Structure 1
Amino acid sequence: MSAAAQLSASVADEVARRIANPWSVPRPPRPSEELAPAGVRAVGIDVVDVARLESLVARRGDRLVARLLTPAERALCSGTSAGYRLNCIAGRLAAKEAVRKTLTGYGTRAGWHDVEITRGGSGEPLPLLTGRAEEAFRMAGLTALHLSITHDAGVAVAVALAS
């Protein structure tokens, strides 16, 4: 039998096997430390609706903002316009939640003040972990966090990558 005929026969056998038992289709390997030692190990994403946040702040006032943001974050968000302030707060909240999601089950006990979103030298968002969040980061065996925040169409979106 020729090589082409052997290949055709093996492909036909595989197709017949998959039709007979579709659940036996081999899955691609999952990323792991073994396969990707320096790769991304966790992804967190969160979206905050700025209008919804505005109504919450209108009802609950600055006490709510003080409960959610650290003093440094509140100072960072104290812009000249209410729109800037709300977008800044929404971005920080989305970022905090995205970072907490990268901590998987370990980060569920982390409080709002355990994750602080600061600014780097170029203005990029930098997560600063303390308390339970820092403990969860260590327990999960993570070594780095990368964060991006964007605002558009009345929402703030943050994505965090942990490796």
Structure 2
Amino acid sequence: MSGILPYPLLSLALLVLWLLLNQSVSAGHVILGSVIAVLASWVMAALRPEKPRIRSPGAALRLAGMVLVDILRSNIAVGLIIVSPREPGVNAGFMTIPLDLRSRNGLAVLAIIITSTPGTTWVNYDAAKGTLLLHVLDLIDETVWVRTIKGRYERLLMEIFE
């Protein structure tokens, strides 16, 4: 069974999503959705993602809570930037952050955190140098951003994944 469907839950989820998006459970949609789901499962098997090992579930919960609070704060800050006139010294810009985190899973989670937080975007990661290029909507002080990424997120991600 694992040869035909290496990721059965992924295939099932994709089939259900296909049927929901098409708002139909006709035979044609079920067959086409099943073919797409099986093909996607084979593609996922070809990628062979490494299995994440969560070493500290408590740190993962702390990180999740911290990220939710930061996203809420960032939504409010970006909303205020949009509706109020620009203050002098508030500029968008790019910055480079040196990272000690090397876990692929940890880097993926960090990319999700940064990109899902309004006002920040993960632009590029240079694995050779271990640096992250980040775009920030309200870049005033780079040291604050470096301290935030390294102190709040990277430290916990290293505790979780490395």
TM-score w.r.t. structure 2 length? 0.25
Q: Which has the higher helix share?
A: 2
Structure with larger Rg: 1
TM-score w.r.t. structure 1 length? 0.25
Q: Which has the higher strand share?
A: 1
